[in-house]
Structure 1
Amino acid sequence: MGEKRWSERFEGAMGRLAARNHRRPFQALALALVLTLAGVFFARTLSLNADFVGLLPKNFPSVQDIDKLRKRFGGQGNVVVVGMGAEPEALKRFADDLAPKLAELSEIRYVNHQRPSNFFNEHALYYVDVDDLKTIQERIDARIAWEKQQANPLFVRLDDEPAPSVDFSDIEQKYTGRANQRMAGQGDLYYLDPTERMVVVMAKPKGSAADLSYSKKVVSQVEEFLAKQDLSKYGPGFKTAVTGTFKKKIDQQRVIVGDLASASSLALVLLLAYLAFHFRSALSVGLTMLPVAAGLGWTYGFVGLAYGQVNLLTGFLAAVLGGLGVEHGIHLLGRYGTLRSEGMDSEAAVAESFRHTGFSALIAALVAALTFLSLAMSEFRAFREFGIIAAVGMLVSIFAYLLILPALLGLASRFGWAPRLHQGSSGPMGLLARWLPRSYRGVGIVVGVGVLTLVSQAHRVSFNYDSRTLEDYKQASAVLDQKVNNILGYSQTPVVVLTDSLEMEREVVRQLEARKAARGKDSTIDFVGALEDLVPKRQDEKQVILQSIAAKLEKLDPERLPEDTRASMTRALHMAKAKPFTQKELPASVKHQFENLDGSTGGAVLVYAGGGVSLSDGEGTRRFAKEVRGLHMPDGSQVSAAGEALILADILDMVSREGPRILVAAVLSVLAAMWLTLGRLRTALICMVPTLLSVIGLVGLMSILGLQFNYLNIMVLPVLIGTTVDAGVHLVQRLGEPGADFISVYGETGRAITGGLLTSAIGFVALILAKHPGLNSIGDLANLGFGINLVIVLLGFPSLLLMVERWRRRHGVTPEQTEEEPAPEA
């Protein structure tokens, strides 16, 4: 009983405060204006940060590693210029003409437009082990001896044994896939695709793509430079395009900002349209929307103070919170109108509305806030910030209504305005209210069977780890970037292991290659590259063998060799004459890849993903992350690779690990809040029934429709728990009032519940039209959940309550025996 008295006292306090604001509207509105101006002031500098790295806590090793990488090497990736629509020779001329000019731009560190294949092909034999060189030498010696025998007129061969082979493909195969061969590339010297009629020139900026303003600066500089070039000399259909990491970051940001603007605008239009339909009064629309607008201003003022920026999820919270906030206004203003129609004056109607309906709205907001706060348990910053901001927004919206709505109603009543009355017993809700008591058994059975069918399929739902399904890969820059990767033969953005010494660098390479060899075809590593590793050991010893091989090859008559061997012998002779080389003599395009921002080289090992693994494929990325992490050095230290791929792996691991815990916390926090505020555990459990069935039913419907969870849309489940439970609260609270009539209560409350769910869904409807696939998936799941909840709370749940009431009457069970409120008369 203590809890109930506490709740009754709180109800009374809300009613008295609302009545005071009704009597003194100008004081309340002045306070609201000051708070709104302060909110707008602090929110004015908010920016959107769509960077992956910003979604994880700064104390995460992967985040700290990538920060070190950026400070030491700058950003990963390139600004890529692609020439298209010309013949190969014209494309090569374009690349040769453009590269030196592009390198002179102030924001470009270096430019790469040719493969270093000539250098690595010429020095290929220096990368062969000494033992294998000796094997090559022995084969050549055997062939020379055989040739001499064949040239001796006195020699008679008594068998048909073939000539000793000088084919070294078996030895060459042993070294396939090493860094020198992969970096040398295959095919043309230029990064050229004759079929697509395109050539690639890669420019490395000085800054990082994570800095959006810098990305815009460097891409604009390159695009302005290209616009000034005379491209007609390369052919009539020749044109250029820009892609690469920096360009894709800008395009992604532009899409998200565009989605943010369009989603917010669409949500506003839909809310206004629905409110106009619901109230049939322009003033009622204004009375509902003004507190919501003020509350959003206060909320984003808090965001500006606390975070200074929004991420991919929190940027769209305005549309979501707007829809959720309007729901409170629909209930409050609808109840106010009903009380006025019953003869109450404006102040008494305001006090009564906020005493009961307002308290129910507070319970719903508190429950939703606690549910959102369960997301704050996550280390995933996108979820944590979403949870905190949404929780603040829900509580702020109630305070905004308590402060502003009574004051506006006080002013309106002074001018003789009264809300337009909508009879609960008329319209679709009235018809449904009269039909349900006659057909509740059939309705309950149909809804129950449908829910059980969905629940039975829930176990089949799966998780989609492929991040490509969450990004807009239809953008021109993204499509072109994939073509560039196909031309290169490997990704432009390897992960990097930072090292502090030459010995450490060698140990990292040794361990990674050992892991690759141990896993065999299951390895996710394509190849490992280190600058020191690109300079072979024992070159002087190898040169002596190579000189001997060259001298012997010159003695072979090419005309006496099989045709398929002549070319390889000529190539071998050329390679055998190559001179030893040092790190300084490596091609500039290779050294640049290991170059620090200060111009020094070394200190990094590049690791490229392979084995059919795409770093956009989350499951493959997780396996790749495990293979390149946790390298134990001889001094006891441990190092790991750094890169955005490992950030994605951490996000996926975190979401899959934390998801069940967050969901359990959301359910328990909702139950605890409702138990505390409603006063009885049984009442709280009854109010939660529609929500829990809706969430489980949604999971089952997903498996039937072939939808999957991902690391963004999985947060919809706790959100639905917090935002749909208020429908059950409103219905149970109103039906539990002494003397409540089912038809009138259901007609009035059902109309408000329908409006509340529709306006809650509106914020998520806007996400369905966003271009970002990840946001689409959030909108899809949320609206399916709201739809299921609407069916359950309007049809299934009332039918269940009516069944329980009929059972009570048949068995003579009194309300006191069940410790419940009196059941409604139907």
Structure 2
Amino acid sequence: MKKSTEVCSHFLVHLANGLQRYPKTLILLTCLLCGWSLFYAAGHLGIDTDTTKILSEKLSFQQDRKRFIEAFPQEDQAILVVVETNMPEQTTKALDYLGTQFRKEKKQIESVYIPGAGDFFDRHGLLYLDLDELDELASKLDEAQPFIGSLADDNSLNGLLSIIGQAISQEIVELPADLNPLLNKIRRAVNAAGEAKTYRLSWQQEMLGEDRDLLRTQRFILLKPKLDFNELVPAEKSLAAVRVIVDEAKTVFPDVSMHLTGEVVLEHDELISVTRSAEIALIFSVTLVFMVLYIGLRSIRMVLVTLTVLLMGLLLTSGFAALAIGHLNIISIAFAVLYIGIGVDYTIQLCLRYRELRQNELPRSQALRDAVRKVGPSITLCALTTSAAFFSFIPTAYKGVSELGIISGVGIFISLLITLTVLPALLKLFRVDTSSAITVASEGMFPDWVYRFPMRHASVVRWTSAALVLAGLGLLTQTRFDFNPLNLRDPDSESVATFRELLKTKDTSPMTLTALAKNKDEALDKARKLKRLEVVENAITIFDYIPEKQKAKLAIIEDLSLVLGLHLTTFPPMHHDTVENNMEVLDEFKQDIDEHLEDQPDSELSGALHLLREDLDQFIAKLQSESEQAKKAMLDKLQFSLLDTLPATMNLLLKGLTAGPVTIDTLPEDLSERWLNKDGIYRIMISPSRDLNEAKNLREFVTEVRKVAPHATDLPVIYLESGNAVVGAFQQALVSALAAIILVLLIIQRSFKDALLILLPLMMTAILTGASTVVMNNPFNFANIIIIPLLFGLGVDGGIYIMYRLRNPEREQSVLRTSTARAVFFSLLTTLCSLVSMAFTPHPGLASMGQLLAIGLILTIVCTLIVLPAFAYKAER
């Protein structure tokens, strides 16, 4: 160790002597290089926020996903618009309006697909009912033909209440709906009209029943947006355009709920949420970092010099990233945080050693040369070990971290070079006053027993550390990786809340799987086997869009058309009668109710009729107290509430009477292309039978389905396999990093004992940090696992500094009194303050990252400044 240290010191002294002769020239050239680096990075360093690229494309599940997207490209990167109200007619109106507006926005939207909508389903919708359901509907409509015919002749409040009044009083008129529920809904319409509120009676629900699949009140629109992955927020423009249309639709349909979700929206909201949370954290971080640097360095000029050196290094590293890779991904963009965390360590070490030597009254030039000579070897060794740790991430399948390893590994050497050359030049050029720092340093910040504690109580520290490590190792067996990215996203955001709500329902879960088949027989065979699985609710192919028993259903439809369709091709719109006629029909309707209650006081309808009678009395009384104009408005509102949806419902029904046979060739193109591509590849969509908000259910769903379809893909597989790939990549990288660090330490130190002691804080911190994830229920995830490289770098660096000072003692009686220990403490504290504010942000991912980072850095400080001296003291004895 001494020989290599002497060689390194000798070289660094010559380097410092040569460069200090021309400090202005050195600074000017460095500034020019930084300027060029900034210019080049601005023109060539892009942002690739495509999350599908952060893992190697060679992974099997990535290949499966690639094959699926190549076969069905329209399924990639979609925005899901969820439209929902309490009646299907209103949902359909909103759906049609949105579809029209989205199709006009060709600049930001590539394609629009509305499942179950369009002329095909309007015409053939009845064929998708079960045979018994269709037969029941036909019978009901056959009996209700007089009702339909009467309203076709007089589609008004007069016509409706007259025929319902006949059904109540004479009970000879068949209605297309159950009378008791219908009376309750008429009562709601009466109350709404009296209170000037909006209410609509759904004739589709009345005729077909509320539980029919054809009458979903929740519908979807799939949009394929145009994304720009060169932007930090690639979906910003397209989503802005979509949201403008949705906001306009909300004003047109105020009673319709419209929400955006899907992977594109989730990732966009994630980036916005992270950005906002980071801005909050940044304000506190900058303040805390400046305060810590000032407390540690005791000089505004020295703080500014330190920040200048860090900025230069960041600019040069950015230029290298632009030159070597050309882009940053959502992982490698963290290189700035890692650079500051480790780079500030080098600058503080040199600054505090320089200040310490000035305290010994050495001349400025001599103090700078000695500081470089004494600190240079240790920070050079730190750079070697830390960069080796980062470079070990390059061969992993986690492409995002692999690129981070390249940028950060080279950035470490840039930081080392800037620290050993430009920093001394700046300190020489800008005369830093160290007088106030000298007094504080000499007196010490704590009582003497604090500095001597690790050595005086070495046995206690050692045994306590051993016990904690054993307990930590036990807890490490319970660590887990949370592979669900939804848990890292803002739960209050519209996209996450909507996505989670959809996951709860079997029929609407967006977390489906997709399997491909080369021919019809394979597709049907796989679907049949998948449907037998307990975890599968359904397995859909294009053949599920071919209605069963078409011949029998078409015969029923043909018979029904003879009853309804021969004399009626289009149902007439509402027409408005006079106020006098409407008042008269209300009185007649009330008389029909009175007759029924008098003749059959205990009938099934009596309860509903009593309530309706009371509300009618109040409504008529209110009408009589109003002006003619107000009466007309109230009566029009009542007619609108009762009859607005009837024409659309009847026209849809009439159109359904023109249905013909359905084959694969007659299916609409926008539907068929999503299930059977031009190359003859069939798609099978597998929906879960359980709530995939639960990690256990998601894992079982993927596992069981892939036993039948090994290459099944889509979001559940991507979430699960991405987590497995990330864990595997980090395990591989950490083993490689540890091996590289040990190798470098053994080569440089030439002492197995010293290498082991240097690794002690790193290993103990790693074990206890991992154990804390179990104790605090903060499992590893896609966000907080990124801090591991930072903890590796800082953990080994601190050990090197302390061991180097212990092996090269000067006049200090305790290593904790030295500038080296203070530099380790303040550099770790600076990093802690720069990042710990994330723990208090509302974003779950950043919060988990900040929490784990705070624990790791605190443990690094304790293990480096207390545990390591205690074990090293034993070695000295």
- TM-score, length-normalised on structure 1? 0.74
Alpha carbons 2:385, 2:744 under 8 Å: kept: yes
Find the residue that maps to 1:338 and give its secondary structure: helix
Alpha carbons 2:513, 2:716 under 8 Å: kept: yes
Distance (whole Å) between structure 2 residues aligned to residue 513 and residue 678 of structure 1:
63
Correspondence for 2:268 among 250, 269, 290: 250
Note closer, same or farther for the CA distance 1:709–1:363 as it changes in structure 2 (3 Å cut): same
Q: Shift of residue 318 of structure 1?
A: 1.3
Q: Shift of residue 627 of structure 1?
A: 5.4
| 1:543 correspondence with 2:551 | yes
Equivalent residue, structure 1, for 2:644: none
Equivalent residue, structure 2, for 1:506: 520
Alignment of 1:350-749 (within 5 A): 350-413=368-431, 420-421=437-438, 422-428=440-446, 432-483=450-501, 489-492=507-510, 494-497=512-515, 504-516=518-530, 520-521=533-534, 523=535, 525-532=536-543, 534-535=545-546, 543=551, 580-586=661-667, 590-591=671-672, 593-594=674-675, 603-612=681-690, 614=692, 621=698, 624-625=701-702, 640-743=711-814, 746-749=817-820
Cα distance per residue 1:19-59 (max 9 Å; x no partner) = 32222112211221122113212332545444331211233
Query: Which is further off, 777-786 or 764-773?
Result: 764-773
User: What is the percent sequence identity of the aligned residues?
Assistant: 21
Q: Shift of residue 472 of structure 1?
A: 3.0
Alignment of 1:67-216 (within 5 A): 67=66, 69-70=68-69, 72-76=72-76, 78-81=78-81, 90-106=90-106, 107=109, 109-112=111-114, 119=124, 122-123=127-128, 187=212, 189-192=214-217, 200-205=219-224, 207=226, 215-216=235-236
Q: Shift of residue 339 of structure 1?
A: 0.9
Note closer, same or farther for the CA distance 1:372–1:786 as it changes in structure 2 (3 Å cut): same
Residue 110 of structure 1 aligns with an amino acid whose one-letter code is V
Alpha carbons 2:277, 2:841 under 8 Å: kept: yes
Distance (whole Å) between structure 1 residues aligned to residue 558 and residue 113 of structure 2:
36
Note closer, same or farther for the CA distance 1:618–1:386 as it changes in structure 2 (3 Å cut): farther
Residue segments in structure 1 that go unaligned for 5+ positions in a row: 129-183, 193-198, 555-574, 633-638, 809-826
Equivalent residue, structure 1, for 2:155: none
Q: Shift of residue 319 of structure 1?
A: 2.3
Q: Shift of residue 407 of structure 1?
A: 0.8
Find the residue that maps to 1:474 and give its secondary structure: coil
Note closer, same or farther for the CA distance 1:680–1:419 as it changes in structure 2 (3 Å cut): farther
Equivalent residue, structure 2, for 1:278: 296
Equivalent residue, structure 2, for 1:312: 330
Note closer, same or farther for the CA distance 1:630–1:59 as it changes in structure 2 (3 Å cut): farther
Alpha carbons 1:113, 1:202 under 8 Å: kept: yes
Distance (whole Å) between structure 2 residues aligned to residue 580 and residue 492 of structure 1:
31
Query: Which is further off, 694-703 or 282-291?
Result: 694-703
Residue 10 of structure 1 aligns with an amino acid whose one-letter code is C
Find the residue that maps to 2:781 and give its secondary structure: coil
Alpha carbons 2:53, 2:399 under 8 Å: kept: yes
Residue 223 of structure 1 aligns with an amino acid whose one-letter code is R
Cα distance per residue 1:52-105 (max 9 Å; x no partner) = 312112334544554455455234364444567887765554334444444343
Q: Shift of residue 379 of structure 1?
A: 0.7
Correspondence for 2:42 among 41, 44, 54: 44
| 1:762 correspondence with 2:833 | yes
Q: Shift of residue 481 of structure 1?
A: 3.7
Distance (whole Å) between structure 1 residues aligned to residue 767 and residue 63 of structure 2:
39
Equivalent residue, structure 2, for 1:170: none
Correspondence for 1:10 among 8, 11, 16: 8
Cα distance per residue 1:192-241 (max 9 Å; x no partner) = 2xxxxxx5451433656978777334333333334555835x45x66755
Alpha carbons 1:21, 1:407 under 8 Å: kept: yes
Alpha carbons 1:330, 1:752 under 8 Å: kept: yes
Alpha carbons 1:26, 1:407 under 8 Å: kept: yes
Distance (whole Å) between structure 2 residues aligned to residue 108 and residue 488 of structure 1:
29
Distance (whole Å) between structure 2 residues aligned to residue 262 and residue 310 of structure 1:
23
Q: Shift of residue 747 of structure 1?
A: 4.0
| 1:26 correspondence with 2:40 | no
Residue segments in structure 2 that go unaligned for 5+ positions in a row: 134-208, 563-655
Alpha carbons 2:527, 2:541 under 8 Å: kept: no
Alpha carbons 1:114, 1:191 under 8 Å: kept: no
Residue 541 of structure 2 aligns with an amino acid whose one-letter code is A
Alpha carbons 1:112, 1:203 under 8 Å: kept: yes
Distance (whole Å) between structure 1 residues aligned to residue 466 and residue 553 of structure 2:
84
Note closer, same or farther for the CA distance 1:548–1:430 as it changes in structure 2 (3 Å cut): closer
Distance (whole Å) between structure 1 residues aligned to residue 414 and residue 324 of structure 2:
16
Equivalent residue, structure 2, for 1:794: 865
| 1:339 correspondence with 2:357 | yes
Q: Shift of residue 666 of structure 1?
A: 2.0
Larger RCO (alpha carbons 8 Å, 6+ apart): 2
Q: Shift of residue 258 of structure 1?
A: 3.5
Residue 56 of structure 1 aligns with an amino acid whose one-letter code is L
Residue 26 of structure 2 aligns with an amino acid whose one-letter code is A
Cα distance per residue 1:258-300 (max 9 Å; x no partner) = 4455555544333222101212210010121111111111112
Distance (whole Å) between structure 2 residues aligned to residue 441 and residue 780 of structure 1:
31
Number of paired residues?
A: 700
Find the residue that maps to 1:706 and give its secondary structure: coil
Find the residue that maps to 1:427 and give its secondary structure: coil
Note closer, same or farther for the CA distance 1:750–1:510 as it changes in structure 2 (3 Å cut): same
Residue 17 of structure 1 aligns with an amino acid whose one-letter code is L
Q: Shift of residue 547 of structure 1?
A: 6.5
Cα distance per residue 1:153-184 (max 9 Å; x no partner) = xxxxxxxxxxxxxxxxxxxxxxxxxxxxxxx9
Distance (whole Å) between structure 2 residues aligned to residue 214 and residue 728 of structure 1:
43
Cα RMSD of the aligned pairs, angstroms, is 4.1
Query: Which is further off, 290-299 or 478-487?
Result: 478-487
Alpha carbons 1:231, 1:238 under 8 Å: kept: no
Distance (whole Å) between structure 1 residues aligned to residue 30 and residue 436 of structure 2:
23
Find the residue that maps to 2:721 and give its secondary structure: helix
Cα distance per residue 1:108-146 (max 9 Å; x no partner) = 533427575994652556999xxxxxxxxxxxxxxxxxx
Find the residue that maps to 1:580 and give its secondary structure: coil
Find the residue that maps to 1:742 and give its secondary structure: coil
Find the residue that maps to 1:764 and give its secondary structure: helix
Query: Which is further off, 387-396 or 418-427?
Result: 418-427
Alpha carbons 2:530, 2:539 under 8 Å: kept: no
Q: Shift of residue 750 of structure 1?
A: 2.3
Alpha carbons 1:126, 1:536 under 8 Å: kept: no
Cα distance per residue 1:579-635 (max 9 Å; x no partner) = 632234446774464487xxx797440423313262x76665555555566989xxx
Q: Shift of residue 721 of structure 1?
A: 2.8
Q: Shift of residue 748 of structure 1?
A: 2.9
Distance (whole Å) between structure 1 residues aligned to residue 367 and residue 341 of structure 2:
25
Q: Shift of residue 497 of structure 1?
A: 4.3
Q: Shift of residue 405 of structure 1?
A: 0.5
Note closer, same or farther for the CA distance 1:241–1:293 as it changes in structure 2 (3 Å cut): same
Q: Shift of residue 311 of structure 1?
A: 2.6
Find the residue that maps to 1:491 and give its secondary structure: coil
Distance (whole Å) between structure 2 residues aligned to residue 487 and residue 202 of structure 1:
18
Alpha carbons 2:390, 2:737 under 8 Å: kept: yes
Alpha carbons 1:22, 1:409 under 8 Å: kept: no
Q: Shift of residue 730 of structure 1?
A: 1.4
Distance (whole Å) between structure 2 residues aligned to residue 549 and residue 26 of structure 1:
93
- TM-score, length-normalised on structure 2? 0.70
Note closer, same or farther for the CA distance 1:684–1:308 as it changes in structure 2 (3 Å cut): same
